[in-house]
Amino acid sequence: MTSRTAAYRQVDKPDSEVVRFGVDDPLRLDCGVDLAPLTVAYQTYGTLNAERSNAILACHALTGDQHVANRHPVTGKPGWWDLMVGPGKPIDTNRFFVICANVLGSCMGTTGPSSIDPATGQAYGLNFPVVTIRDMVRAQAKLIDHLGIETLFCVAGGSMGGMQVLQWAASYPDRVFSAIPIATAARHSSQNIAFHEVGRQAVMADPDWRGGRYLIEGTRPSKGLAVARMAAHITYLSEEALHRKFGRNLQDRETVTFGFDADFQIESYLRHQGMTFVDRFDANSYLYLTRAMDYFDLAADYGGTLANAFRDSRTRFCVVSFTSDWLFPTEGNRQVVHALNAAGARVSFVEIETDRGHDAFLLDEPEMFAAIRGFLESAARARGLAAPVAVP
Amino acid sequence: MTEHTDPGQQQTKRVDLLLVAEMIAPGSRVLDVGCGDGTLLRILENRYGIDGRGIELSQRGVNECVAKGLAVVQGDADHDLDDYPDNGFDYVILSQTVQATRNPRVVLGHLLRIGRRAIVSFPNFGHWRMRWQLLFEGRMPVTEHLPMSWYDTPNIHFCTIRDFVSLVHDLEARIERTIALDSRGRRLPDNASLSRLNIFGEQAIFLLRRGGEAD
C-alpha cells in the first residue's frame, strides 16, 4: 500500500522538476480541446552550454517516465535508459544536456487523466481529452521553449518515444538538429492496435474501474491493469528470449499441480510483472497512451506520403531496429528510412542482431551503443560542439 | 555487395578508390552504393569535404560505417535505389559492385537518374588473364581481384570494358572519363584504344553522365 500511495503522490507532486502553464497559456490539442492549466514534469542531466546548443531530448516509451537516468522514486530501480544516458555513456551527460519529460496523459507529474480537473476539483478520469503523439510533442515543445532552447541537438527515443522523435522531426524540422528513432514506425500497425485493445478491454472489464471513476470512488482496477501489462509484456520480448530464459521450467515445484497456480516460471514472471506495474502506473493513463499510439499515422498527416513529412529536412537521422522485434519489426523502421531517402534527408540505418525482441532498446546492446555514440559524435562535430571534458 | 577483405588487394584497391575520389568535385553530394566499411566515404568527407551517404548490403559494414559517423543505410542496389529522388546527388558511385547486381542495366539507369554524374568501377572480364584461363585452361578465371570460385562468388553479371561501353551507349549516356588499371594497379595511358584497355585493364573506372544534358 505504501508504494501505491507513493505512485499516486507522483501525479501531483512528482519527485522531479515541473513547469506549470496557466489558464492563459493553453495547449491546443488535435481533438480541438484547449487544455489548461498544464503541468509538465521533467528531469535534466548534465549542463546546458552557453550557446544552448547541446540539449538532447530523450523521449520515453508507453509506460516510461522522466526518470531516464536516476533512481525511480516509486520503484527505487535505476532509470529506464540508465545504460544509454550518463557520464561517459553513449548519450554522454559530460557533453550533452539531457532532458526527459513525462508525456502528456501519463501519471508521473505531467497532466493526465489522474490529474485534478480544475472544472470539478476531482480527477479527470474519462473527462480528460484524448491526446495524440503530436499533442505530446507540442507539450514537450512548450517545455523546451520554457527552457529557452531554440534548437535541440538531438531527439532520441524508442517505441512510442521513437514516434515522438519522428513527430518532432516532422513538426519542428528547424528545431531538431539530429534524431534517433529506435524500434518504431511511422504508424501503428493493426496488429499492435489489436494488442492495445486487449489491454484496454482488460482494464475496462475490471469492476473496480468504475467507468474510469475509480479514483473518485476509491477503488483501483489493479487486476485488469495487471492483465493488460501481462499481455503487452509478451509483445516486448521474443520467442527466443522467452525460451532461453524460461523454457517450460516449473516454478518452485517438481511436477505440475493439475490446477491453475503459476506452475510455469513464465506464468509467475508475468504475474510479477503485472503486479509491480499496477504499483507504479495509472489505469486510465494506460488507456490514453495506448490510444495515442493507435492514432499515430504520420503519413496520413502529410497527404498519405510519408516522405512529405520530411521534405527539405536538414535533420540528421539515425534509425535503429532489432532483428527479433515483432512489435515494431525492421520493416516498419525501414519504411521510415525509405521515406527519408526519398526526401533526400541525411539518414543512417542500423539493424541490430539480437534475440531480445522489442525491449532490446532498453538493454545492453553494444552494437546499438556503438552506432549511437558514433552518430552523435559525428553530429556533434557538424554542430561544432566541443569534445567532452575528460573525467578523472 | 562484394566485401574487400583480402589484405593482398589493399594497395591496388586504394589506387582505385583514390582515382574515384579525384573525379569528384569538392563539396559535392555523393551517394556510394555498396560502400563496404565506408573507407571511400571517409576519404571523401575528410579530404574533400563532400556530403556523403552510403548504401551497404552487409549489416556489419553498415554498423561499422554508422559507428564512424557516416550516413549509411542497409540496402542493395537492386532494390533500394527506387527510393532516391531524381538529381538527389551530384555523384553516385558504384565501386566494384555492378557485377554483383541482379539487373545491371536497371541499376545503371538509376545511377544516372539519381546522380548528375555516375562513377562506376568494376573488374574487367576482358583482361588477358581471364581470356587466357578460359581459353587455355578451360576453367572459370580466378584472379587476385576475383579470387572466388564460380560456385561461391557474389558476382553474377561479369562484363568486359567493351560490354560496359556498349551498355552505356544503349542507355544513351555519355562517358566523360575512362581510367583502366593494369594488374599492378598502374594506370594505362588515357589515349589508349578501347581494345588495349580491354586486354590490359584489370579494373576500369568510368565517369558517366546522362546524354543530352549541358553542364
Mean pLDDT computed over B98-104: 93
The cell numbers describing A29, all together, are 490539442
Rounded Cα distance, A77 and A63, in Å: 14
Which residue from B minimizes the CA distance to A381?
A: B69
> Model pTM?
0.91
Which residue from B minimizes the CA distance to A377?
A: B69
Q: Which of B5-9, B124-128, B193-197 has the lowest mean pLDDT?
A: B5-9
| B35, B37, B63, B65, best to mutate vs chain A, most A CBs in 10 Å | B63
Q: Which of A322-326, A351-355, B62-66, B145-149 has the lowest mean pLDDT?
A: B145-149
Interchain CB distance below 8 Å, B73 and A381: no
Q: B67 to chain A: which residues are within 8 Å by CB? A: 370-371, 373-374
CATH of domain B7-210: 3.40.50.150
pLDDT at B127: 92
Q: A319 to chain B: which residues are within 8 Å by CB? A: 73
Binding site listing of A for substrate? 229, 359
Which residue from B minimizes the CA distance to A369?
A: B67
Interchain CB distance below 8 Å, A347 and B71: yes
Which residue from B minimizes the CA distance to A90?
A: B67
Rounded Cα distance, A61 and A124, in Å: 23
Q: B88 to chain A: which residues are within 8 Å by CB? A: 344
- Domain boundaries for CATH 3.40.50.1820 within chain A: 3-188+298-383
Interchain CB distance below 8 Å, A378 and B85: no
Interchain CB distance below 8 Å, B59 and A316: no
The answer for A159, left when phi > 0, alpha when psi is -120 to 50, beta otherwise, is: left
Of B62, B66, B84, the CB nearest to A375: B66
| B31, B66, B90, best to mutate vs chain A, most A CBs in 10 Å | B66
Cα A376 to Cα A208, A371, A387, B184: the distances in Å are: 47, 9, 11, 40
Of B70, B83, B88, the CB nearest to A338: B83
Which of 2.160.10.10, 1.10.1740.110, 1.10.645.10, 1.10.240.10 would CATH assign to domain A193-289? 1.10.1740.110
Residue-wise over A289-323: b if at least 16 C-beta within 10 A, else e?
bbbbbbbbbbbebbeeebbbbbeebebbbbbbbbb
Q: A341 to chain B: which residues are within 8 Å by CB? A: 73, 80, 83-84
Which ipTM score applies to this complex? Answer: 0.81
pLDDT at A233: 96
Interchain CB distance below 8 Å, A342 and B84: yes
Interchain CB distance below 8 Å, B59 and A351: yes
A197-206 own/partner pairs: CB under 8 Å, 24+ apart: A198/A228, A198/A231, A199/A227, A199/A228, A199/A229, A199/A231, A199/A232, A199/A286, A199/A290, A200/A228, A200/A286, A200/A287, A200/A290, A200/A291, A202/A227, A202/A228, A202/A231, A203/A228, A203/A283, A203/A286, A203/A287, A204/A287, A206/A283
Mean pLDDT computed over B103-110: 96
Interchain CB distance below 8 Å, B83 and A342: yes
Q: How many CB pairs under 8 A join A and B?
A: 65
Q: At residue B144, does pLDDT exceed 90? A: no
- Confidence tier at B60 by pLDDT (50, 70, 90): confident
What does the domain layout of chain B look like in residue ranges?
7-210
Contact call for residues A61 and A103 (beta carbons, < 8 A): no
Of A338, A371, A379, the CB nearest to B67: A371
Binding site listing of A? 229, 359
For chain A, the residues whose C-beta falls within 8 A of a C-beta of chain B are 316, 318-319, 337-339, 341-344, 346-353, 367, 370-371, 373-375, 377-379, 381
pLDDT at A151: 98
Q: At residue B35, does pLDDT exceed 60? A: yes
Of B63, B65, B71, the CB nearest to A316: B71
Of B63, B80, B84, the CB nearest to A371: B63
For chain B, the residues whose C-beta falls within 8 A of a C-beta of chain A are 51, 53, 59, 62-63, 65-74, 80, 83-85, 88
pLDDT at B59: 84
Give residue for cell 515522438: A164
Of B66, B83, B88, the CB nearest to A350: B66
| Nearest CA distance, B58 vs chain A (angstrom) | 10
- Confidence tier at B4 by pLDDT (50, 70, 90): very low
pLDDT at B213: 67
Q: At residue B13, does pLDDT exceed 70? A: no
CA angle A69, A75, A77 (to 5 degrees): 40
pLDDT at A165: 98
- Domain boundaries for CATH 1.10.1740.110 within chain A: 193-289
Provide the annotated active-site residues of A: 159, 325, 358
Q: At residue B146, does pLDDT exceed 90? A: no
pLDDT at B14: 67
Question: HEC profile for B139-188?
Answer: CCCCCCCCCCCCCCCCCCCCCCHHHHHHHHHHCCEEEEEEEEECCCCCEC
Output DSSP code: residue A260.
S
Interchain CB distance below 8 Å, B69 and A374: yes
Q: In terms of CATH architecture, what is A3-188+298-383? A: 3-Layer(aba) Sandwich (3.40)
Rounded Cα distance, A15 and B24, in Å: 56
Interchain CB distance below 8 Å, A344 and B85: yes
Residue-wise over B174-191: b if at least 16 C-beta within 10 A, else e?
beeebbbbebebeebeee
Rounded Cα distance, A90 and A380, in Å: 12
Rounded Cα distance, A334 and A347, in Å: 11
Contact call for residues A234 and A270 (beta carbons, < 8 A): yes
Secondary structure (3-state) at A239:
helix
Q: At residue B134, does pLDDT exceed 70? A: yes
Rounded Cα distance, A40 and A100, in Å: 10
Q: B59 to chain A: which residues are within 8 Å by CB? A: 350-351, 353
Q: B30 to chain A: which residues are within 8 Å by CB? A: none
Q: B70 to chain A: which residues are within 8 Å by CB? A: 348, 378
pLDDT 10s per residue in chain A (392 long)?
Answer: 445 577 888 998 999 999 999 999 999 999 999 999 999 999 999 999 999 999 999 999 999 999 999 999 999 999 999 999 999 999 999 999 999 999 999 999 999 999 999 999 999 999 999 999 999 999 999 999 999 999 999 999 999 999 999 999 999 999 999 999 999 999 999 999 999 999 999 999 999 999 999 999 999 999 999 999 999 999 999 999 999 999 999 999 999 999 998 899 999 999 999 999 999 999 999 999 999 999 999 999 999 999 999 999 999 999 999 999 999 999 999 999 999 999 989 999 999 999 999 999 999 999 999 999 999 999 999 999 977 655 55
pLDDT at B111: 97
Q: B63 to chain A: which residues are within 8 Å by CB? A: 350, 352, 367, 370-371
